[in-house]
A and B are shown apart, each in its own frame.
Chain A
Amino acid sequence: DAGVIQSPRHEVTEMGQEVTLRCKPISGHNSLFWYRQTMMRGLELLIYFNNNVPIDDSGMPEDRFSAKMPNASFSTLKIQPSEPRDSAVYFCASSLRQGTGELFFGEGSRLTVL
């Protein structure tokens, strides 16, 4: 299995631009998670889905952030408009079932907003 696939791996953009991060979970996994990692705040859960339905989005910073999972094999995290403080590494992870502690993480998308 190829694992969780994220794109792009690196993105540099200017403040105010729209950013779309993409994730393909492991086939057969029912839960998908978006995390953000910064030096100051560590790893933060932004949102997670179970069977394509958002379960908990309490970690989404503000209305500029939105996430979708139109089908079991694809999810997007969108930031519009982006701000410098959004600069971070964004990780997508998937798990076989809800409630397990074993998540499989992608390699992350490093976002820099100038």
Chain B
Amino acid sequence: GESVGLHLPTLSVQEGDNSIINCAYSNSASDYFIWYKQESGKGPQFIIDIRSNMDKRQGQRVTVLLNKTVKHLSLQIAATQPGDSAVYFCVYHGSGNTGKLIFGQGTTLQVKP
């Protein structure tokens, strides 16, 4: 079956440091991954996505790395800010063009001032 899992349930970092959130997946056919952020009391928010024909993609202060060999995905946040405190979800996009997103359990990022 398919699963999207996170290595750590909670990550605590100092403001200004870089954060790395990891994710493992089991389905070799996975070809599209997305990271979402959910702040307390709000709905999830799209951060960045990556397709399997890439191994790195950068956004504003965020970088996603994909290692298909070991089925591992990571989200790097540069210069972490208090506003980055949230739950981060590694999301797998269902095969084909179905539009079905499968969310992992999430990693809580706590930013200490």
Contact = CB atoms under 8 A, between A and B. Distances in A.
Interface stretch (B18-26, B67-75, B101-109): B101-109
B56 interface: no
A110 to B, nearest CB: 9
B34 A107 contact: no
B32 A56 contact: no
Interface string B91-108: 101000111111111100
Given A56-B100, A99-B99, A104-B46, 20 more contacts: A42-B104, A42-B106, A43-B103, A45-B101, A48-B100, A56-B98, A91-B44, A98-B97, A99-B97, A99-B98, A101-B32, A101-B91, A101-B93, A101-B101, A102-B34, A102-B46, A102-B49, A106-B43, A107-B42, A108-B43
A26 to B, nearest CB: 13
Interface of B: 32-34, 41-46, 49, 89, 91, 93, 97-106
A98 B96 CA distance: 10
B43 A93 contact: yes
B99 A95 contact: yes
Residue among B41, B44, B99 with max Cβ neighbours from chain A (10 Å): B99
A91 B98 CA distance: 19
